[in-house]
Amino acid sequence: MQLLHNNYTQTFGHGPTWSIQIHTSQTEPRDFFTESKRAAELIWSAKQGIVHVMYSGGVDSEYTLKLFHSLGMSVIPVIIKLNPSYNDHDIKYAIDFCEAHGLTPLIIDIDFDEFVRSGKIIDIAESVQLCVYQYAATLYATANIDGTVICNIGEPSVRLDSNTKQWSVIFDEYNYVFPKYWQTHGVIGTPFFNTYTPEMMFAFISDPRVNDLVNFRVPGKQGHQSSKWLIYNRHSGFNHCERPKYHGYEHIEHSAIGKHANILAFEEFKTQWNGQVTQEYHTFISKIKDPVISL
């Protein structure tokens, strides 16, 4: 199956030369929940084997789980456990959710200290030009799953520049390392569920909540991340609650392994592979009907 529907996004270059092309659809995007259901049905029709959803306990992957189950599609949650107990504070939400809903997750245990000291984290990073060490364990885990794998990586960020007071749509190079790794390791599925189709991407970033943000109707907000649960609840009835936003590596950042040379090396990788493209929000939205958006 395709990692993105009709491979509608392509990227080029690295670091300061990194760019992205988005082949849009002539179909007007509907609400995000409707477009999510369409994406799930497209993936389900092309799946191979059992469908697995990478589940950190965050609202993104929980939305995906609820969506598939609401459509009668049985999927298995996958929880990555970074030992020794580095991310227990994060995966607690995932474990509690699975217990409450009678789900048996696939738990992938990774000895994170060994993963770093052995140089495996560097091997993975260099193989795909990865500049954020937090993605390496996820990449490694996805290559060890049989069947179809679904992740929630790669959506554009909508953020306010505190200096210019301008809202922008931002794409980061590091979110697009997954296709190369998956193609090399034969992983089937999509790392980009939240943007699997162009309609899904545009439905999300043009949601009424995002529109309120970029028009300064929600004072104090500087990005869309803390508003996701509201977007996911709209039309779905899933009743997500606001929760702390973790990335799962908080304890590692303050541990001895977080100071290991193989993690510090990612600072150098950022000088080479940390590309980013930005466009003012309203300008970007005005291009939705263009055949190709080049950034």
Instruction: Spell out the domains of the chain, with CATH numbers in brackets.
Output: 5-294 (3.40.50)
Higher-pLDDT residue of 289 and 292 is 292
pLDDT band at 231 (very low <50, low <70, confident <90, very high): very high
For position 270, what pLDDT does the model report?
97
Determine the average pLDDT of the residues in 264-290.
Answer: 96
Residue pLDDT, tens place only, 253-271: 999 999 999 999 999 999 9
Planar angle of CA 137, 139, 142, nearest 5 degrees: 105
Percent above pLDDT 70 for the chain = 99
Collapse the DSSP code of 171 into the 3-class scheme (helix H, G, I; strand E, B; otherwise coil) and give the result: strand
pLDDT band at 217 (very low <50, low <70, confident <90, very high): very high
DSSP string, 92-110: HHHHHHHHHTT---EEEEE
- Sheet strands (E) in 33-137: 51-54, 75-83, 106-111
Determine the average pLDDT of the residues in 77-94.
Answer: 93
Determine the average pLDDT of the residues in 45-57.
Answer: 95
Tokens 């490694």 map to which residue? 140
DSSP string, 255-273: SSGGGSHHHHHHHHHHHHH
Give the helix/strand (H/E) hosting 18: none
Task: Label residue 23 exposed, middle or buried (CB < 10 Å: 0-12, 13-18, 19+).
Answer: middle
Collapse the DSSP code of 288 into the 3-class scheme (helix H, G, I; strand E, B; otherwise coil) and give the result: coil
For position 265, what pLDDT does the model report?
98
Q: How far apart are CA 25 and CA 1, in angstroms?
A: 19
Lowest-pLDDT choice from 105-114, 143-152, 223-232:
223-232
Q: How far apart are CA 203 and CA 207, in angstroms?
A: 6
Chain-wide mean pLDDT for the chain?
A: 94
Taking the alpha carbons of 32, 67, 57, 52 in that order, is the dihedral positive or negative?
A: negative
Task: Label residue 198 exposed, middle or buried (CB < 10 Å: 0-12, 13-18, 19+).
Answer: buried
Pair 54, 151: CB distance under 8 Å: yes
For position 243, what pLDDT does the model report?
67
Instruction: Give the contacts of 157 (CB within 8 A, at least 6 positions apart).
Output: 169, 170, 171, 172, 223, 224, 225
- Sheet strands (E) in 84-206: 106-111, 148-150, 157-161, 166-172, 188-190
Pair 157, 277: CB distance under 8 Å: no
pLDDT at 49 over 70: yes
Instruction: Tally Cβ neighbours within 10 Å of residue 213.
Output: 22
Determine the average pLDDT of the residues in 108-135.
Answer: 97
Residue pLDDT, tens place only, 138-196: 999 999 999 999 999 878 999 999 889 999 999 999 999 999 999 999 999 999 999 99
